[in-house]
Structure 1
Amino acid sequence: MMTQQELQDRVALKDLVDRYATESDKNNQDYYREIFTPDIKLKVYFGDTLGMDINNVEDMIAKYKAFGAAKASFHQNGQQVVDFTDETHATGICYAIATLVTEEDGKDKLTMHAVRYYDKYVKTAGRWWISEREQHFVYTSVPPLV
């Protein structure tokens, strides 16, 4: 049976991944300072290919801003599984769909990404942070936009 503290920790960890999605939809990468440790270890994979290897939140923010804002975006998180290592460390997997509308050759283009986030969390001064993330773009689809 889960303790009250474990339930509170699970809610806090779900909030981290959901706020990442929500703030990404707002194109508010500066908010990442509120959910990732300053020394975040981030690896982004496109299929099996490592596309980004970042070692701090400021570089993460700069790289994400360099992509430019989508005309519209919709990040939707699905299941999240969390395993606690101890009272201040945990690992987790979160499944997500990221849908973006961009412009290409004067026309709107819809891109859908299936994403898995493999996270490591650390609790510091009573609050949880994402300290490591492997972001895997499992597949990408470009359906017609109607």
Structure 2
Amino acid sequence: MEAASELRKVVDAYAILTDEKKILEQMDLFIPDTRFTIYIDDHLISDIKGIEQLQQEFTTHVNEVKRYFTINGQHQVTVHGDTAEGIVFSQMKVIREEHGVDILSDYSIQYHDLYIHQNGKWLIKERKEYMIMVEARPLQA
């Protein structure tokens, strides 16, 4: 049960660091040769390999976003010694400016994760992000 609690802290730290745009700290949650894939409607739209590429992708994204707000819901994990699998249900709101108008995008996401316990801490080995629902609209004042 202790591993499940520690893994929940990892996925919550990921969300908090996203909201705070702290990419370097966020990279500390991943192994160096991590893999991060993103799917919309089961179609692969991004396949990122390694922490250097992940940091570049996240930096590009952060520079396009005014604000993030993330809420994590259910987190189911299965632990196998020093490895684990998990599913995280997450809701993310993103504000971007397009043609002088703030656009609010609302993402319903499932993360399918593989974790590994190294040097006394849990890290994300692989993260598959499935965007289940996406809605975008002008932000109302």
TM, length-normalised to structure 2: 0.93
**Structure 2 CA distance for partners of 1:25 and 1:99, relative to 1, 3 Å:** same
**Does residue 1:47 correspond to 2:41, yes or no?**
yes
Structure 1's consecutive aligned runs of 4 or more residues displaced over 3 angstroms after TM superposition are none
Residue 145 (structure 1) shift: 2.0
Match of 2:128 in 1: 134
**Structure 1 residues 59-86: Cα deviation after superposition (integer angstroms, max 9, x where no partner):** 10101111224212101100000011x2
1:139 Cα deviation (Å)?
1.4
Structure 1 unaligned residues grouped into runs of 5+:
1-6
Aligned length: 139
Aligned partners of 1:99 and 1:33: how far apart in 2?
21
> Is contact 2:101–2:138 with CA below 8 Å preserved after alignment?
no
Structure 2 runs not aligned, ≥5 long? none
Q: Which structure has greater strand proportion?
A: 2
Say whether the 8 Å CA contact 1:38–1:57 is kept in structure 2.
yes
Separation of aligned partners in 1, 2:98 and 2:87: 33
- The amino acid across from 2:78 in the alignment is D
| Equivalent pair of 1:97/1:112 in contact (CA under 8 Å) | yes
- Please identify the structure whose Cα radius of gyration is greater: 1
Number of the residue aligned with 1:30: 24
Checking the alignment, whether the CA contact within 8 Å between 1:32 and 1:57 is kept in structure 2 is no
How many Å apart are 1:47 and its aligned residue? 2.1
Q: Percent identity?
A: 28
1:77 corresponds to 2:72: yes
Aligned residues: CA RMSD = 1.2
Structure 2 partner of 1:108:
102
Separation of aligned partners in 2, 1:107 and 1:78: 30
Instruction: Tell me if structure 2 keeps the 8 A contact 1:110–1:145.
Output: yes
